[in-house]
Every structure is written in structure tokens, then in C-alpha cells.
Amino acid sequence: MTRPLDGITVVSLEHAIAAPFCTRQLADLGARVIKVERPGAGDFARAYDQRVRGEASHFVWVNRSKESLTLDLKQPGAVAVLKDILASADVLVQNLAPGAAARMGLGYEALKVSHPQLIVCDISGYGEDGPYRDKKAYDLLIQSEAGFLSVTGTPDEPSKAGNSVADIAAGMYAYSSILAALLQRGKTGQGSHIDVSMLESLGEWMGYPMYYAFEGAAPPPRTGASHASIYPYGPFAVGDGGTVMLGLQNEREWKAFCDTVLQNPALATDPRFDANAKRNAHREALQALILETFAPLTTAQVLERLEQAQIANARMNTMADLWAHPQLQARNRWRTVGSPAGDIPALLPPGRHSSFDYRMDAVPQVGEHTDAILRTLGRSDADIAQLRATGAV
């Protein structure tokens, strides 16, 4: 069975999360992804932790189905190898320090002369120009710059997202931009340059709070896990120690919530609560009534009432719960992939296709494919030995 990106070769000068997340998704669709790593240590994300049988949790997540090639790009011999690979590549992705790729002659302007069909995707914190161009950018810093922290957390303290949301946003836009560039190249025959900024990527995801605060209006308040402007919408404690998430969207649901869940039909027309804006303004009083109703009940009983009333709800799951989630198991979303630590489970990418299966190959060891790649470039054993002797690979 063919895949959409079979025959496409991607070379990536990548580390950490944003670029590797982008290129792993290209690999999922069948692309050959050659990951360039530093000789010895490799991508520094390999050392973030040892949670997966000695391997790093971030690394195994975003690096399956890739080939690892070690090159010390400070050495001319290594740069020559990379340029040989680029001669037949379709895409170059990089998230090195700002300007680093260009200084090595690997910027789009330098490459397009000899590689007019090459698509070059640069991922950075703030983009290739502007006053913040050279500013260091880590995920948490971008969450702060993009205003994410100002609307996330409790009234007393801002909180970051529990995952690398800015890196993920940039990786997603780099991925979709590369797919668009491949389609465009199919029409024009020409490659292109893509400049993806973490700030702009997360800024796009901040559209609702930005417009909520339009023309100097007050921004959404930090409300923990509750919705900032809809109530009741968020977590509620239950008598057995559990927590139930629920959300109401309209007045029909509010009436059903009062009738079936709270079993207090008169509350639906209480003048404090008979519209969402009023419920939001009196959320403390309404919260007390909800918690009073839930106190003698179990989590299962509350969920049963919510289902009966057709009110959206969820359990507040842990990571262990997610690993064992019955819906993921029922839909057969788990596969096994190889890794330097042996076989590990891996979640299939979102989106189930009738015409192809995702590629789900191993997470590579540092430099695992170096010799094989060099031989495909025509390097002899003596050439490879010389490259190794000088530390170029």
C-alpha cells in the first residue's frame, strides 16, 4: 500500500521538539526523513530524561520512523556530505539557532541556485527578521510572549501548559506548510522558502482571547480549569473524592441540568441563573449549589445523571488512565515500534485513512544509519573511516 509522501526525502537539522514533531509527521505519511545529529551525543533532547526504559520521553515521541545521520557541520567534510544528500532531497527543515544554517551556506537563498526544486523550512522563535530575530526562544518563553500565561492558571497565579504547546503549534504549521509547498511545487516545478515562527504559531491559537480583549476590553480572566465566560463549565468535586468535568452550552441544556442532574427544576428560572451571563456573574453561588448536590453522590452516579440529561461530561483522567483509555483500545489506536530500549507502544497519528496506513517504524539510535547513508552517496569504506577519524561523522 502506497503512502502520500512515498518517494519524498526530507533532511532535517533538528533538535528538541518543534522541527522533530514536524518531520515525524512527514515520516508518518511515508517520507524518508534523514535526521542530522551531532556525533556522540546526538539531539540534546535524547538526554532530557530516562523515562522510557532509559530513553527520553520527548525523544521517543517525536523521532520514530527516521534515519539518524551524525555530522559535525563545523567540518568541511561533513558539510560536503550534507550537500551531497541535498542534491536529491525534496525538503530541508531546520531549527538551529537564528542565522546558523545560512552561515554554513544552507540558507534558502544560497541553496535555491543549485537546488531550485528544494523546499526549505526554517523554524525559529520569532522569525527571520524583526527586532526579536536573534532572541532565544524556548517553549515556556513563547507561552509568555504570546500571552498564553496571562489567560491560563488561577486568579492568583499563571500556569504554563502541561505540554510543549508552542513547539507543537510551530511543528504543526511547519508540517502543513510543507505539505502545501509540495502541492505548489507540483504545479510550478519550483521549490520555496517557509519561515515558521513559534510566536506567530501560538499567536494564531490565541485568537479567541485576543478578540475577547478587542480594542482594550478586559481579557478573559484566569479561571483554572473552568471556562472563563461560560458557567457551569469545568471541574466539580464529587462525594467519593472524584472530579467530574461538565459543560453547558445553551439554555436548553441548563434546564435539563436543573431537572435531571441537580433534580431542582425551580432553579432553571431563578433570576440569578436564568441566562449564561447571570450564571457567570453568580458562579460562586451556583457552584455551592452544585457541590451540595454532588456531595452525597459517587462519580459514577453523577456521570450517569449527566449522560441521562445529555450534558457534555468527562472524567479528569491521569496519564495512566490515558494509556488504558477504553476508546483508544476499542478503535485499535495502539501500535508497537522499535527503539534503542526495545519495543515500545506508540499511538497512531490522528486521522484514520481508508487508502493507506501510517508508517510506524523504529526510533533510531544516534548515528544508526550513518554508514548506510554514506555508502548510498558513493563513499567507500576508506572514505567513511577517514570521516570518522576526523570526527566529521
Query: Could you give the CA distance from residue 191 to residue 350 in angstroms, rounded to a whole number?
Result: 28
Enumerate the H helices of 71-226 as residue ranges. Answer: 76-86, 100-103, 108-114, 139-145, 165-188, 198-205, 207-212
- Residue 32's DSSP bridge partners are 9
Q: Give the whole-angstrom CA distance, residue 388 versus residue 64.
A: 25
Coil, strand or helix at 169 = helix
Assign residue 11 a region: left if phi > 0, alpha if psi is -120 to 50, beta otherwise?
beta
Nearest to 365 by CA among 341, 390, 336: 341
Report cis status (omega within 30 of 0) of the bond before 235. Answer: no
Which residues neighbour 183 within 8 Å (Cβ) at sequence distance 6 or greater?
none
Q: How far is 230 from 129, CA to CA, in rounded Å?
A: 40
Distance between CA atoms of residues 294 and 365, nearest Å: 51
Report the sign of the C-alpha dihedral through residues 53, 55, 56, 57, in that order. Answer: negative
Other beta carbons within 10 Å of 333 = 15
Among residues 167, 240, 270, 361, the one annotated as catalytic is 167
- 167: annotated active-site residue: yes
Reading the block at residue 225, the C-alpha cell is: 480549569
Q: Which residues are catalytic?
A: 167
